[in-house]
């Protein structure tokens, strides 16, 4: 089951990365932060809150965590993957609603997370 989910995520990421329109109104983007997963998690939750999205589910798997959030008419899933003690990859998937469901919306969540992470470091 995990393999199937991983393959589906890779397929979505490949479509989003190609610049092609997202089928099914889904936007996917990813980046790597030079920060531990605990700090990225706090910044990601702050980014979701700034967009009036509430956390509806938290999950963990080997080497990572998943945060699911719901907003006015849309949802987001953030996958945090520990790449090292001070490195975390974040994959953002946005599904319609108040945020347009394209790669721009997913990129905006990543940018907001980076901004919150930077402001917390000051």
Q: State pTM to two decimals.
A: 0.74
What is the C-alpha to C-alpha distance for residues 26 and 73, in angstroms, rounded to an integer? 13
> Residue 92 is encoded by which pair of tokens?
């953002």
Question: What's the pLDDT at 111?
Answer: 96
Give the rounded percent of residues in the chain with a pLDDT score beyond 90. Answer: 59
Confidence at 120, pLDDT banded by 50, 70, 90? confident
> What is the rounded CA–CA span in Å between residue 2 and residue 121?
35
| Secondary structure string (H, E, C) spanning 34-99 | CCCHHHHHHHHHHHHHHCCCEEEEEEEECCEEEEEEEECCEEEEEEEEEEECCEEEEEEEEECCCC
- Calculate the CA 83 to chain-centre distance: 15
Diameter of the chain measured on Cα atoms: 42
The whole-number pLDDT of residue 8 equals 45
Mean pLDDT in residue range 75-92 = 96
2-121 under CATH 3.30.160.110, yes or no: yes
Domain boundaries, the chain: 2-121
């Amino acid at each position: 089951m995990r393999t199937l989910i991983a393959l589906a995520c890779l397929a979505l990421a490949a479509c989003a990365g190609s610049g092609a329109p997202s089928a099914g109104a889904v936007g996917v983007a990813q980046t790597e932060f030079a920060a531990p997963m605990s700090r990225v998690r706090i910044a990601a939750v702050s980014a979701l809150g700034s967009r009036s999205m509430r956390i509806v589910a938290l999950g963990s798997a080997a080497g990572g965590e998943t945060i699911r959030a719901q907003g006015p008419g849309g949802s987001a899933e953030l996958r945090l993957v520990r790449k090292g003690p001070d490195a975390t990859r974040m994959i953002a998937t946005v599904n319609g609603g108040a945020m347009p469901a394209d790669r721009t919306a997913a990129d905006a969540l990543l940018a907001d997370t980076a901004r919150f992470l930077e402001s917390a470091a000051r």
